[in-house]
Amino acid sequence: MIKKLRQFSLSNKETKQWFFIFLSLCLCFLPLLFHFIWGNHDWNPIFYTNKLTGGLVEGRFSQFLFLRILLEGQILPILNLLLGFAAYALALVLLYNRYFKFSYTPSTILLLITSATLPYIIEIIYFQFIVLSQLIWPLIITISLLLAKQATINNSHRIYCILLSSALLLLAIGGYPASVNLFVTAFCLYLLKQKDLSIFSKHFITICLPYLIALCIAFLSLCMIYKWLSANELMVDLYNNQPSSPLQIIKKLLPTIKISLMSFLQPLPFFNLHLKLTISFILILFICHELTLKKNIALKINCFILILALLLAIKTSALLSQQSPDNYFEKYDPIAFMLRTDFFAIPCLVMFCFSVLRESKSKLISNISFLLLLLLLWQSILTNYNFSKVHLFGFVAENKLQQRINTRIQEQSSYSPKHIYTLIQAGELPHRPKYYQPTLLEKYGYYTLNVPYTRSWIADEYYNFYEPITFVGSTSPISLTDFTPDMTDFFSHKITTWPHQNALYIGKKFIIIALTPQGRKMLIQQFNQTRKIQP
Amino acid sequence: MKKLLQHLNLLPSKTDIKALIISYIFINFAFLYHSLNFMWGNHDVEFIKTQTHLSSGLFEGRFTQFIPHWLLTNGQILPILNNLLGFLFLALGLWLLAKYWNIEKSTHIYALFITLFATEPYTLSWLYFTFLTISCFLWVLLAILGLFLSELIHKNNHKWLLSTSAILCFYLPLGGYPPIINTFFVCLSAKLLLSYVFENKDLKTLFNIHKYTILNIFIAALLFKMTLRIINPDNVYNLQTTSTSDFPYKLFQTLKISINQFFISLPFMSKPYKLFLATLTTIAFLLTLMTAKNIKSFFIILGLICVTVLSTTLTTLIATAPTQYVTRIDFYGLAFIYILVFTLLISQKTPVLKTVGIIYAIITIFLSTLNDFHAQKIWKQGFDAEFQILEQVNERIENHPQFNSKQKYRFLQIGDISLRPSYYKQKYDMEEPFLLSLPYLAIWQGASLIEYYSPFSFIKQTPIIMPGDITPEVSRFLKKEAHPWPHQNAVYITKDIIFVIYNQNELDNFKKKIQEL
């Protein structure tokens, strides 16, 4: 028994690798470890304890499982990130040593550090309420992969291994569906690593079967759980919890390959063209290396098909989920360029490519890959620090504005601390772009740069956050019966944009703030529409 | 690469690596509070918000100042990483100096040597301006590398290659911060002293070995001067040099300063701290003099000690601007004397004196670390207090009935507020701008700072006030109503100018200027 357990413990080399990955992640995000800052969904999760059922609304039934188990549902400074980093580092070590079974060389640690610190992680780090679970899912999926791999080797425990593997995969995709990308990507890479494997051979089917069964069980279970949650009105149908039909999946195969290729080239905020091109170059080098190694045309075709499959695997979540073209997120945060979904695929891919290139018999390729490794590592470190800096400044600046608005509210004679108000903040003022120098051809960057920390529809969460009393009850819109003569006067004649004195209205029930010109315009439009409807 | 480093004796051994890691961790610990709390000096605002450019230092003749930033961080100033990189270069430079001075090789001696220098409060002076931290610590590494390579020339076949590399190592720091010349000569003369006393090398041998060093420094200085001619910088204070007629007087003054600097107390370097260091320095020099075998060698040693001490004030002798008792200049000069003291003590034959040297290093590191943490506390308090005022001023501007966020204003700050001194209660002989007295809300960066945390961009970067701007209303306000902060009338907004008044003296001066206009 002890012998059996020992095989699960980390060797000295693995422990060393884990320690250095963990340390580098801590160093890369030291400003965020030391300064406790949070994203725009985190105000209430930080204030209160997170319930186990907290993620059900969007179908993420296991989202808070590990937060409950490890931190009693609390979001704790430093610890939240440290635990996440520890789990993520372990996932990479297990993937490298146990799943792919790459050999240990002096550059192994450097290679693992480079993969771990790739800036795909920055969007994961933005939200405090999911960071722990998001960084644990790679570990859960790695264990799921190891079990599926075990099922191909061990005949006696095959069914148990497959069932356990699918259960773990379900746990991970139940917390964040896009984590499936890691499962499929790592599996594709594993197939690429098998020498002279023909996709038409029996051996190929033997290898694939456990993974496919685990994936199907997990995916079908997830769909069933979604149905049950929807039927019981526990889940709201959102953009991120609608699975595609089989026909839709087939239709989306080619477009998904296209977006997969595009995602390697499209610069994003904190992911400049240099960084994208470096990663693309590594991938091209890897593909060329793999194709040249194959001895005959059949094997070359095999390899090519697997590479196409790999391109699909990277975007599995995009393939399996429904997207509507007029969706708000399709415009500002398209699934093709979400760093948070790429986080589950690209670091693993980069790690694999480097490991293969480093083991190449050609010294030139090995040396080029080492230089690229150093270049990528340094670029990633700089990007991560820049992200921390912009995140920090943006957060501080928006909080300062928030305090100024609160002070203005409390200084008004019409304000009474005994009232609980409905607060309407029209418009938002994101500050982060002010501290960021965009580079060539950049687009998007929804959570990493453009959205504010203070979203208008959760105003009650942050207006009350630093106040000794709760003065904002809700942010519900004004109804017909709520209009008073002074409110009508405010909308008709006075309303101006912040920081003007007339940007603020305080009545007996409502506090209205016209924060931006767009917000003001929207308020006036709504007011006029209401007046038209009013008899 | 490995072979080349081995050939040049630059490949660190296990002992070296251990010592470097230990000292690097300790240096980072000593300045941890500063690293974690991202604070920046009063020249940094725009650089932090955007980035530094290669040409940013050209106007004052510092043509290489931003090369390290540009190469290492794409010109960005990044929290924590800025200090981590700076300290890494400093630690490497000091490790190289330990090798250059040929001190006893052991982990603890090397670690003490590096830590002793790096934790001295002089290091703090390079943390105030974040845009200088990386380069100004890198200059130490390059300067010592230049000395190290120059020493190798006499016994190496690749004389030209080594000479060129050494000249480059001297030229780059000179182009970034000319007072680095102090380091060249302090470290060189200390090396001569140590070689003469402990390696029993005579003056002729020493001249044969080190003539290349002098030549390389001279060529680098010549190239530096030529470059200045080509780039033709502005006529700034820090490029003006002492005229020949003033030289004798300046030399006398500099001699006085080179002695006084051991006793003058500064912020975070109290009298007892300085006296402790001065006492140990005297003891170490006396012990070294006692090693003289005859009168001739006594005078040679005395001469070398005098030259080493004098070299610490070389910039003061050359430059017209007052550079005496300025910590960032002393970082390149006087600070090296305190590690020379350690080296002299541990190089003595008597074991007791070696122990004294180690105890001296431990006590000094402890005292310096206390001073560093004290300084970091005061800096943070001053920084927060000044930025709180800035926030209140911003709130006043936003609430001002005349203010329109869509409009662009010129910004005029009258006076500044320096709050670090309010939190520092100890006495000192000389004021030190970078360690204590400089404000964060300085006049010259008021326009950039005022909208730093604001969601609006309302400042026009053209602060010149023309006679036409002084309308009767403005004149009346400034003469009769204006008061410094925190008075209600400390913020005044006209059609296109925002006035913020921090200081009564500056307000009075401004009133006089207006009358002249």
Q: What is the rounded average pLDDT for all residues in chain B?
A: 94
Q: Residue A490 has what DSSP assignment?
A: I
Q: Give ∠ CA B233-B236-B241 in degrees, rounded to 5.
A: 95
pLDDT for position B150 = 97
Sign, Cα dihedral of A402, A404, A407, A412: negative
- CA dist A434 and B305 (Å) reads 55
> In this structure, how many other beta carbons lie within 10 angstroms of the beta carbon of residue B324?
18
Q: What is the rounded average pLDDT for all residues in chain A?
A: 92
Q: Cβ separation of B36 and A497 shorter than 8 Å?
A: no
Residue B259's nearest CA partner among B285, B298, B288, B297 is: B285
A332-355 pLDDT tens trace: 888 889 999 999 999 999 999 999
**Pairing verdict, β B497-501 and B491-493:** antiparallel
- CA dist B419 and B423 (Å) reads 7
Taking CB atoms and an 8 Å cutoff, what residues of chain B touch A30?
Answer: 36, 80
- CA dist A211 and A187 (Å) reads 8
What are the percentages of helix, strand and coil residues in chain B, rounded to 5? 65, 5, 30
Q: Give ∠ CA A129-A134-A136 in degrees, rounded to 5.
A: 115
Which residue(s) pair with B460 in the sheet?
B410
- CA dist A427 and A447 (Å) reads 17
> In this structure, how many other beta carbons lie within 10 angstroms of the beta carbon of residue B58?
16
Tell whether A386 is within 8 A of chain B (Cβ). yes
Q: How far is CA A299 from CA A225, A290, A291, A294, A296, in A?
A: 41, 10, 8, 6, 5
Would you give the distance in Å from CA A120 to the centre of its chain? Answer: 8
Contact present, B307 and B186 (Cβ < 8 Å):
no
Tell whether A382 is within 8 A of chain B (Cβ). yes
Nearest CB neighbour to A386, from listed B78, B394, B399: B78
- CA dist A296 and A306 (Å) reads 16
Taking CB atoms and an 8 Å cutoff, what residues of chain A touch B79?
Answer: 31, 385, 388-389, 392
pLDDT for position A157 = 87
Q: Which of residues 63-82 of B touch A (CB under 8 A)?
A: 73-74, 76, 78-81
pLDDT for position B516 = 75
**Inter-chain contacts counted by CB atoms under 8 A, chains A and B:** 63
Contact present, B349 and B198 (Cβ < 8 Å):
no
Q: How far is B396 from chain A (nearest CA, A)?
A: 10
Q: How far is B455 from chain A (nearest CA, A)?
A: 6
pLDDT for position A533 = 67
Taking CB atoms and an 8 Å cutoff, what residues of chain B touch A405?
Answer: none
Tell whether B401 is within 8 A of chain A (Cβ). yes
> What pTM was estimated for this model as a whole?
0.94
- CA dist A143 and A382 (Å) reads 32
Q: Which two tokens stand for residue A218?
A: 């997990």
Chain B residue with minimal CA distance to A391?
Answer: B79
**Pairing verdict, β A472-474 and A510-514:** unpaired
Write out the H or E segment, with its range, that includes residue B310.
Answer: helix B295-311
> In this structure, how many other beta carbons lie within 10 angstroms of the beta carbon of residue B394?
23
* Distant-in-sequence contacts of B89-92, Cβ < 8 A, 24+ apart: B89/B134, B89/B137, B89/B138, B89/B140, B89/B141, B90/B27, B90/B118, B90/B123, B90/B137, B90/B140, B90/B141, B91/B20, B91/B23, B91/B24, B91/B27, B91/B118, B92/B20, B92/B141
Contact present, B432 and B402 (Cβ < 8 Å):
no
**What is residue A321's three-state secondary structure?**
strand
Q: For B231, phi and psi rounded to 5 degrees? A: -80, -15
B83-122 pLDDT tens trace: 999 999 999 999 999 999 999 999 999 999 999 999 999 9
Taking CB atoms and an 8 Å cutoff, what residues of chain A touch B391?
Answer: 400
Q: How far is B222 from chain A (nearest CA, A)?
A: 36
Nearest CB neighbour to B80, from listed A30, A499, A501: A30
**Pairing verdict, β A510-514 and A504-506:** antiparallel
**What is residue B499's three-state secondary structure?**
strand
Q: For B500, phi and psi rounded to 5 degrees? A: -130, 125
Q: Give ∠ CA B75-B81-B83 in degrees, rounded to 5.
A: 100
B167-204 pLDDT tens trace: 999 999 999 999 999 999 999 999 999 999 999 999 99
Sign, Cα dihedral of B450, B452, B457, B459: positive
Nearest CB neighbour to A389, from listed B78, B394, B401: B78
Q: Which two tokens stand for residue A525?
A: 């439009």
Q: Which two tokens stand for residue A318?
A: 């995009």
Would you give the distance in Å from CA B482 to the centre of its chain? Answer: 38
Report which residue type is found at A139. Answer: L
Contact present, A506 and A409 (Cβ < 8 Å):
yes
Residue with tokens 């002070």: A407
Sign, Cα dihedral of B121, B123, B126, B127: negative
- CA dist A369 and A111 (Å) reads 10
Angle, helix A12-28 to helix A79-94, in steps of 10 degrees: 140
Locate all alpha helices (DSSP H) within B312-441, ordered by sequence. Answer: 314-318, 327-330, 334-346, 351-399
Q: Rounded to a whole number, what is the largest CA-CA distance in chain B? A: 84
Contact present, B399 and A412 (Cβ < 8 Å):
no
Q: Which two tokens stand for residue B433?
A: 């701008």
Q: Cβ separation of B391 and A31 shorter than 8 Å?
A: no
- CA dist A447 and A431 (Å) reads 13
Beta strands in A236-296 (DSSP E): none
Contact present, B280 and B362 (Cβ < 8 Å):
no
Which residue(s) pair with B492 in the sheet?
B499
Tell whether A431 is within 8 A of chain B (Cβ). yes
B302-340 pLDDT tens trace: 999 999 999 999 999 999 888 999 999 999 999 999 999
Q: Which two tokens stand for residue B449?
A: 């700072």
Q: Cβ separation of A31 and B80 shorter than 8 Å?
A: yes
pLDDT for position B512 = 87
Residue A75's nearest CA partner among A98, A54, A89 is: A54
- CA dist A157 and A159 (Å) reads 6
Write out the H or E segment, with its range, that includes residue B287.
Answer: helix B271-290
Question: CA Rg, chain A, in Å?
Answer: 26
**What is residue A423's three-state secondary structure?**
strand
Give pLDDT tens digits along chain B (517 positions). Answer: 788 888 888 999 999 999 999 999 999 999 999 999 999 999 999 999 989 999 888 888 899 999 999 999 999 999 999 999 999 999 999 999 999 999 999 999 999 999 999 999 999 999 999 999 999 999 999 999 999 999 999 998 899 999 999 999 999 999 999 999 999 999 999 999 999 999 999 999 999 999 999 999 999 999 999 999 998 887 776 777 888 888 899 999 999 999 999 999 999 999 999 999 999 999 999 999 999 999 999 999 999 999 999 999 999 999 988 899 999 999 999 999 999 999 999 999 999 999 999 999 999 999 999 999 999 999 999 999 999 999 999 999 999 988 999 999 999 999 999 999 999 999 999 999 999 999 999 998 888 999 999 999 999 877 577 777 888 888 889 888 999 999 999 999 998 899 999 999 999 998 888 777 6
DSSP string, B463-485: -PPPGGG--HHHHHIIIII---T
Preceding omega of A485 cis (within 30 degrees of 0): no
Nearest CB neighbour to A501, from listed B84, B401, B452: B401
- CA dist A515 and A459 (Å) reads 12
* Distant-in-sequence contacts of A202-207, Cβ < 8 A, 24+ apart: A206/A152, A207/A152
Q: Which two tokens stand for residue A150?
A: 């075990």
Segments of chain A with pLDDT less than 50: none
Residue A319's nearest CA partner among A257, A374, A406 is: A257
Q: How far is A157 from chain B (nearest CA, A)?
A: 49
DSSP string, B178-232: GGGHHHHHHHHHHHHHHHHHHS---HHHHHHHHHHHHHHHHHHHHHHHHHHHHH-
